[in-house]
Amino acid sequence: MEKIKLEIVGLSYSQTQTGAYALVLGEEEGKRRLPIIIGGFEAQAIAIELEKMQPSRPLTHDLFKTFADNFEISVKEVIIYNLVEGIFYAKLVCNNGEKEVEIDTRTSDAIALAVRFECPIYTYEFILSSSGIVLEEDVVPEDIEDDLEIEIADLAKSTDPFNGKSVKELEKTLKEAISNEDYEKASKIRDEIENRKKS
């Protein structure tokens, strides 16, 4: 089967499912769009990488990337290969220089890894023809595309609870956390303050 290359068109809050997000993929040479509902964690993982933000601690997908790099494993491509009862199925095509292996994965995780490895994303015609949405060029005006970019940026920023806070503000929050005996929060704030002082 011939593969169709996709690109990330947008990522926004789902209008149909609370707490979920709509990841919109579009065919590179066409007008069809493939909307996929994904969870908040995966949406944030994708948004953080698209915005080139650096979280204070590595996310799971960052850990996978570091692990793969250290063992000279690359993700060659991501293929969304099936759709059953509204659920998309994907696989990573990995290579270590000697052999190629296909690993089954959730589509949201596959996309989060694809943006980190900067590898292409593909699907097949039967998936696009059954679940793709055709958009005429004038249906998606530039201001809507701008809104999608803003939502991706907002989503990425929302993952960092310390975003926009100065060291002084963090130190005040640290004292409050300790007085409230919220030691887990205090530990994270302390780490953030130390990281900022080092950089």
Q: What is the mean pLDDT of residues 81-94?
A: 95
Give yes or no for residue 58 having a pLDDT over 50: yes
Lowest mean pLDDT among 34-43, 122-131, 188-197: 188-197
pTM equals: 0.71
pLDDT value at position 159?
A: 55
Percentage of the chain lying above the pLDDT 70 cut? 84
Asked whether residue 183 carries a pLDDT value surpassing 80, the answer given is no
Q: Where are the domains of the chain?
A: 3-158, 167-198
Class of domain 3-158: alpha beta
Give the chain's radius of gyration (CA, Å): 20
pLDDT at residue 139 in the model: 46
Q: Can you point out the beta strands (E) in the chain?
A: 3-13, 20-27, 32-39, 74-84, 87-95, 100-106, 121-124, 133-134
User: Does 106 have pLDDT greater than 90?
Assistant: yes
> Do β-strands 133-134 and 121-124 pair in parallel, antiparallel, or remain unpaired?
unpaired
Instruction: Kindly give, in sequence order, each residue whose CB lies less than 8 Å from that of residue 181, ignoring residues fewer than 6 positions away.
Output: none
Residue 143 pLDDT > 60: no
Q: Examine the pLDDT at 185 and tell me if it is beyond 80.
A: no
Q: Which helix (H) or strand (E) holds 8?
A: strand 3-13
